[in-house]
Structures are given as C-alpha cells and as structure tokens.
Structure 1
Amino acid sequence: MRGRGWIRALAPALLLAPSALALAGCAAPDVVVIDRSGWPVAGALVYGQLHSFEVTATTNAEGEAWLELWPPQLAYGVQRAGYEPVFVPLDERAREELERPLTIVLTKRP
C-alpha cells in the first residue's frame, strides 16, 4: 500500500478547506470602490501591487473587492470604463495604519 501516504498527509487540509472557504466569504473586503455620489461601482478592476507581485479582483454589486495578497499592498489601482483610473501608492506608515476596507473614489469621465 505504498503511495497512499500522500492521502494521509493531505487529509487534514482537505477537511479544513470548506471551513476556510466559508470564513473567506465573511472577511471584510480589502477595497471598496464608489463614485463621487457615494454609490458603489460594480465591475471595476482593482489591482494590488507588492514589489514584483500583482493581484487583481473585480468589484461586486456593492463595489467590494478581495485581493489575495497580504500584507497590504504597496499600491492599489482601479480601472473602470467611463471613469478616470486611480492609482494609490502607500508608504510604509500608511500601510501600517491602513484600515480595511480602503475606500477608493472614482470620477466619471466627461
């Protein structure tokens, strides 16, 4: 029965995976995107950069996005058709004091 050791090694992770997924859905979003009127912007591309790593997510109907990278990124960006793109670089102090979610306001293009 050699070769089945990997099943025993993975069993605990497989048993905990559904719990981790359930908790991930309850976590606060990393970014909330709104327009100048305070309305959420759905379908915006949000990206976070940490050194050479970049992750992306799309905002939901509430303007929320979750990025799969921790600690907080060095920079965030948001793009959406019909709006001016936004790029938000964060220095070390700002990253330490960042409260989640980070709210980013988009301005409609004329």
Structure 2
Amino acid sequence: MNTIKRLEKIVAKRAGDDPKKSYVAKLNARGVPQIGKKLGEEAVEVVIAALVENKKALIAESADLIFHMIMLLEAKGLKFEDVLQELERREGKSGLVEKAERKAKEK
C-alpha cells in the first residue's frame, strides 16, 4: 500500500475522532470551508518556500499541502485516486486544449 492510500485511511479514521485529541478531527469538525481555507494557506506556503526558502522547506510545505488536500477530498467523499484519474485523462493533451474543452462543456 502506498503512502497516499495509508494517509487516506488515517484521515478517514481520525475524521470522526475527538476534536480535542486529533488535529484531523478538529479541522474536520469545522467543515469544508475551514479545510479549504487551510488548504489555501498551505498552497501559499508552498509558493513562498519555492521562492525564498530551500528545497527542504519546499518538500515540507508540499507534504502539508498534500495532507490538507487529502483532508478536503475525504470531506467531499473523494479519493486522491480520483485526482490521479483526471490527470491520466488529460495526459497527452495540451493544457490549452484541455482548458478550452472544459470551458466549452461549461457553456
């Protein structure tokens, strides 16, 4: 079992734990908006680490970002595998073409 799948299981298990004893439970109890806010904060920290810090900081902040993304996906009933499948669907397409296709579907 890979690291992402193990982490998903841990997040799923801890989501319903006592918020006084688990960070995952505490953030999960605050709901999707708060998880999303935290994910956004982590994304900013990744960018800052990339611009002004060393590789070790970038790796650490990226790990935090992925962790919080897994929390958000779990809260919405999704798995990281769903994201990977979307990336596979896009494989081999120009980003510009893929974006245009999405916009066409939205209309």
Pairwise TM-score range, normalised by the shorter structure: under 0.3
Higher strand share: 1
* TM-score (norm: length of structure 2): 0.22
Instruction: Find the structure with the greater CA-based Rg.
Output: 1
TM-score (norm 1): 0.22
More helix by share: 2
